[in-house]
Copies of this chain bind each other. A is one copy, B any other.
Amino acid sequence: MFSLRVAEDIELVLLEERDAAELYALVDANREHLQRFLPWARVATLESERAFVRASLERFSRGGGFDGGLRLAGALVGALGVFNVRPDVRRAELGYWLAEQVQGRGVMTRAVAGLAGELFEVQGYNRLEIRCQAENLRSRRVAERLGFKHEGTLRSVHPAPGGLAADLEVFGLMRPEWQRTRERQG
């Protein structure tokens, strides 16, 4: 029902319980694609998506970020959210995934850029963070294109299939860096 326009053709929709079925359909259609880097995708059900949306809204209501759906020309094509909000140092982490069929068109880069604009310029954040696995080239590239700096590699910190743990690459973007990205992108 409520959304933020993050690009001319992309809306970031605050997910509500009534969106769970549509969200689940998208996850289910992209299960194989998603589960490579997102362990929850392998076991997602309609009910788990409903619980996810409920928990996520409850987190939003306490000022702890949110989970949004991305609508491209009206159709749900992915998710983009804000996590691990730390008001004292004005930082937060971003997380996202995109349906396979709309990849390769810069959708997520534009969406994250729009959200970063809101967070840095309207809400006064000082730092945004993206964490992804080294092999997750598409996710990395979103961060790199937007000027995020690689800050380190945390070893074996992320749940991976088979009960294993994967390394996470940490990328950070400070407010002045964002301004340079903004200028560069015209």
Contact = CB atoms under 8 A, between A and B. Distances in A.
A18 B12 CA distance: 19
Interface string A60-82: 11110000000000000000000
Interface residues of A, number: 42
Interface in A120-157: 122-123, 126-127, 129, 149, 151-157
Contacts of A152: 151-154, 170
- Of A1, A90, A149, most B-chain CB atoms within 10 Å: A1
23 contacts: A1-B4, A1-B118, A1-B122, A2-B4, A3-B3, A3-B4, A14-B14, A16-B63, A58-B58, A58-B62, A60-B61, A89-B158, A89-B165, A90-B165, A91-B156, A91-B165, A127-B157, A149-B155, A151-B154, A154-B170, A154-B172, A155-B174, A157-B172
Given A1-B122, A2-B3, 13 more contacts: A1-B118, A2-B4, A16-B63, A18-B123, A57-B61, A58-B58, A88-B159, A89-B156, A89-B157, A91-B157, A152-B152, A152-B154, A154-B170
